[in-house]
Chains A and B, each alone.
Chain A
Amino acid sequence: MNTLDRAVIAAGFDVERVRADFPVLNQTIHGKPLVYLDNAATAQKPRAVIDAIVKFYEVDCANIHRGVHELSQRSTAAYEETRAKVRRFLNARHKQEIIFVRGTTEGINLVTQTWGRTHLKQGDEIIIAGLEHHSNIVPWQFVCEETGARLRVIPIDERGELILEEYEKLLGPHTRMVAIGHVSNALGTINPVARIIRMAHAAGALTLVDGAQAVPHMPVDLQALDADFYAFSGHKLYGPTGIGVLYGKTELLDAMPPYQGGGDMIRTVTFEKTTYNDLPYKFEAGTPDIAGGIGLGAAVDYVTRLGIDKIGAYEHELLLYATEALEQIPGLRIIGTAREKAAVLSFVMEGIHPHDIGTVLDHQGIAVRTGHHCAQPVMDRYHIPATTRASLAFYNTAAEIDALVAGLYKVKEVFGDD
């Protein structure tokens, strides 16, 4: 066992025991033990989440909010319980502020299509950052095109940190919304969102935070942050795909028109006029991903049981270990060296394309992401087409980092100068 692993066990985090909770980790790829380092794309699911989904389909399956029969009451209770769990987990003020969506992308689109279309006009400005994922760029571009509002971008420095002086200059009487990623998926930068939100509010603007990469890795307190909207995806929080959450402050959600029309989002329907349901149902038309919602509840329970603080502390140790190990490799350059960083290591290797790195690593059983990570403006900022990205989770070990390093030496062996 590695020294870091031993130290961490002493600190109360038994990574080997945690790994046993994740069935997918126990397999070989091309004859080598799987080393899964693509957690920023999607995280693996613990047995508890898989079991909750199986139980729903085997025992409790029925549509929610509809039937008076036993199964419908069970499924409704389980689904709604997740809303309560998410509220507690993120310290939202009210349960009704937790709206289920497909994921972060849909959460942001909901805001741009409802709040955006009714509140933005010619000359208004939206501020985003140079680190954004495409899902926090493109929906705003849509609504800007429709309303005549304008997108402004906070630049980033060489480390991959937002330049706050530039942000301050962008803020002004025309700023309506500041939409910012909490943690960069491409570089791992943790943005100072509390400060960004305070500055936005002082300028009279609203705020939306893309929390996809933050919620799985650090404590998030929505009331302390005072974000007006906050979105995250279940599948990055060790939950199922197809379910996510948009949080919004009650008074804002109340003043927004519905997102999609259909069942569950109405109070009364006649051919002349329809009245809408209360929050959060106003924004939840149609049968949702019930199994996904229940699975997300199990994921929140799982993460809560491990302790999000402990998860964050362990992942930080692993990040430091991995950063030091990768920096020893000649010709390797880490892209994104922010002082506050989540456990994401994006890097380039001299003369070797990320896709080739990815394929050779895959042959060592190591799963990494290669490409632009849905953040092309970030790649443009560093004048590179792509990076290789290893993104860590609490079930990764120092031994796996050692395997990554060995894999990268193999890459150099295949493609090195001869």
Chain B
Amino acid sequence: MIDDLYQETILDHSKRPRNHHTLAGANRKAEGYNPLCGDKLKLYLKMEGDIVSDAAFEGSGCAISTASASLMTESLKGKTREEAMKLVDKFHDLLTTDTPASRDLGKLVVFCGVRDYPARVKCATLAWHTLKSALHGSEETVTTE
């Protein structure tokens, strides 16, 4: 069913994305690009030591990619760099494997339905590819290809 993909939380975050702005005082920045659909995303992180103290994003995409970026920025706040990197892997597993969802994912489990839509996995992972690049401190545009 279409509702399994577009769960209520995803629709809510796509229509009213959280942290959808530039970020004053951001010290990490990265851009992501999905050549398949032309979506572009800018991610801003404010790191205090090893902790992500704030995160925000700009750009518009499909409902899946916007909601993914919105929920991702929410879930990042307060995490250490290492915790954030682990979350990237767990989120990726959620979309591409049948392993039971990690409890650390919290609200992010709403993306489990994307697994059944291989053509849409890249929409959901765009923000996360960009996060990896931001955490690595590289300024280059990452693509989902």
Q: Which residues of A contact B (CB under 8 A)?
A: 352-356, 359-360, 363, 370-372, 376, 379, 385-386, 414-415, 417-418
Contact = CB atoms under 8 A, between A and B. Distances in A.
A355 B123 contact: yes
A371 B2 contact: no
B120 A414 contact: no
28 contacts: A352-B63, A353-B37, A353-B39, A353-B62, A353-B63, A354-B37, A354-B62, A355-B64, A355-B123, A356-B6, A356-B62, A359-B2, A359-B117, A359-B120, A371-B36, A371-B38, A372-B37, A372-B38, A376-B38, A385-B37, A385-B38, A385-B40, A414-B6, A414-B11, A415-B6, A415-B14, A417-B15, A418-B15
Contacts, number: 49
A356 B11 CA distance: 11
B78 interface: no
Nearest to A371: B37
A48 B56 CA distance: 57
Given A355-B62, A414-B11, A360 B2 contact: yes
A360 B63 CA distance: 12
B26 interface: no
Nearest to A358: B119
What are the 10 closest A-B residue pairs judged by CB atoms, nearest first? Answer: A385-B38, A353-B62, A355-B62, A363-B2, A356-B63, A356-B62, A386-B38, A355-B37, A372-B38, A386-B37
B23 interface: no
Contacts of B2: 359-360, 363, 414
Given A415-B11, A417-B15, A356 B64 contact: yes
B15 A355 contact: no
B115 to A, nearest CB: 14
Interface in B27-66: 36-40, 60-64
A151 to B, nearest CB: 21
Contacts of A418: 15
A370 B37 contact: yes
Contacts of A370: 37
A359 B5 contact: yes
Contacts of A415: 6, 11, 14-15, 63
Given A353-B60, A355-B120, A385-B37, 16 more contacts: A353-B62, A353-B63, A355-B37, A355-B62, A356-B6, A356-B62, A356-B64, A359-B2, A359-B120, A363-B2, A372-B38, A385-B38, A414-B2, A414-B6, A414-B11, A415-B14
A385 B37 CA distance: 7
A383 to B, nearest CB: 11
A353 B61 contact: yes
Contacts of B61: 353
Contacts of A359: 2, 5, 117, 120
B19 to A, nearest CB: 19
A418 B15 CA distance: 9
A359 B2 CA distance: 8
A239 B77 CA distance: 55
Nearest to B63: A356
Contacts of A379: 38
A356 B120 CA distance: 9
Contacts of B64: 355-356
Contacts of B38: 371-372, 376, 379, 385-386
Interface string B108-135: 0000000001001001000000000000
A359 B114 CA distance: 11
Contact of A385 (B5, B11, B39): B39
A329 to B, nearest CB: 19
A363 B62 CA distance: 17
Contacts of A360: 2, 6
Contacts of B39: 353, 385
A415 B64 CA distance: 12
A228 to B, nearest CB: 33
Interface in B6-31: 6, 11, 14-15
Nearest to A379: B38
Interface string B77-107: 0000000000000000000000000000000
Q: Which of A354, A355, A376 neighbours the largest number of chain B CB atoms within 10 Å of its CB?
A: A355
A361 to B, nearest CB: 10
Contacts of A417: 15
